[in-house]
Amino acid sequence: MTKRFRKIKACIIMSVFIVSVFAVFAPSSSAALFNLNGQLQMNVKAITNRTVTPNSAPIEFELTIMYTVAGVGAGVVYFPPNTEVPIDITVDNIPEWATVEVNPASVKVNLDTLKPMKATLLIYADERAPAQAPVDVSINLRSQSIRGLGGQVSEATYGPQRVSFVPGYVPILSYNVKGGTYKQISPMETADFDIELENLANGKTEVEFKIKGLPDGWTASVPNIKTLGSNAFEENSKSTVTLSVQPPKTFGYHFEKQTVQLELTATYYGKTGQQTDTYPLDVTVESRGFSTIGIEIPILIIVFIVLIILVVLFYFKKYKN
C-alpha cells in the first residue's frame, strides 16, 4: 500500500513538472490553458488647488491604481509568490506651455495582495498659459501580460481619463517712456510724456494710473485705466498713453525743476481679487523762462489810469485855452 502511494505521488509530481515545462517553453497560443483578463481602474484626487500659477510651483494630483484578474480559471492558474504586474502610466494632450511629470511613471501590483498602488501627477505651466481658460490632460494605463502555470493574463488598458485644471493669472507689464523721463519747457508750455505699454501677462490686463506725488502749483493728467490684450490669446498687447505735466504759470521768471510720481497697477481684466502688480514711474520737468500769465490785471489798471490822465489833461488844456 505504501509503495503504491509513493508511485502515485511520484506521478503527480512528474505531471506537475511536465505541465510547468510545457507552459514555460511552449508557444503562448498552446501554453495558455486559461486566458485570463487583467482589469484596471484609477481614481484621481486633487492634492492642491486646480489652479496652476505660471512659472511657479506645480499643482499635484494623487493617482490610485487598482488591478484585478478575472476570467474562467482565475483561481486555478498558478503564479509564483510575489509575482508583480508592471503598469505603465502615460499622459497625453499636454499643452505646449505645460510640463507634466508622473512619479513613478510605472507601478507594480503584487498578485498575492492586489493592493492599490499610488502615483503623483505634477503639472507645471509657463507664462504662455492662457489665464482662466480651463484645460485638461489625458491619463492612460497599460498593464503587461503575464504567464503562469496553466494560463496567462492578457495586457489591459485603461483610459483616457481626463484631469482638468486652470492656469492662473500673473501680471507682467513692460513700459517705456518715449524720448526719456526728463523734459525742459517754458512756463507757458506743457510737458507730454508718451508711455509705451506692453502686456506680457497671460491674460487681458487693466492698467490703472495714479499720480502719487505732485508738487504744489503743478498739474498733471493721465488716463485712469488702459486695457491691454494678451499674446496668450493672440490679442493686441501694446498701447501708448500720454502723461501731461504743467508747471506753475504765475507772472514772472521761472526756474524750477520738479519730479512727478506716477504709479501703474496691472490687474486681470474685469476681475476683482485677482493677483496684481504695481510699477513706479517718475518723470522730471524743468520749467525755465518768463511767464506773462497774471499780468493782464495790472496792465488793465495801468491802461485805465493812463486813460484817466489823458482825459484830465485834455479837459485841463481845453479850459485853459
Over residues 29-86, the pLDDT tens digits come to: 444 588 899 999 999 999 999 999 999 999 999 999 999 999 887 778 888 999 999 9
Q: pLDDT (tens digit, 9 = 90+) per residue, 191-230?
A: 999 999 999 999 999 999 999 878 888 999 999 999 999 9
Q: Which residues, other chains included, contact 94 with Cβ-Cβ below 8 Å and sequence gap of 6+?
A: 100, 137
The answer to whether the bond into 104 is cis (omega within 30° of 0) is yes
Answer yes or no: is pLDDT of 306 > 80. no
Residue pair 283/181 in contact by the 8 Å Cβ criterion: yes
Burial of 8 (0-12, 13-18, 19+ CB in 10 A): exposed
- Residue with cell string 505732485: 214
Q: What is the structure's pLDDT at 22?
A: 44
Answer yes or no: is pLDDT of 121 > 80. yes
Question: What count of other Cβ atoms lies within 10 Å of the Cβ of residue 20?
Answer: 14
Q: What is the structure's pLDDT at 9?
A: 46
Q: pLDDT (tens digit, 9 = 90+) per residue, 263-299?
A: 999 999 977 556 789 999 999 999 887 656 655 455 5
Q: What is the structure's pLDDT at 34?
A: 85
Considering the entire predicted model, what is its pTM? 0.73
Q: What is the structure's pLDDT at 253?
A: 64
Based on its alpha-carbon atoms, the radius of gyration of the chain, rounded to whole angstroms, reads 42
Question: What's the number of CA atoms in the CB half-sphere (13 Å) around residue 310?
Answer: 6
Q: What angle is formed at CA 215 by the lines to CA 211 and CA 219, rounded to 5 degrees?
A: 60
The mean per-residue pLDDT over the stretch 240-244 comes to 97
| Mean pLDDT lowest among 76-90, 178-192, 249-263, 301-315 | 301-315
Q: Can you list the domains of the chain with their CATH numbers?
A: 32-167 (2.60.40.10), 173-295 (2.60.40.10)
Q: What is the structure's pLDDT at 248?
A: 84
pLDDT class for 188, splitting at 50, 70, 90? confident
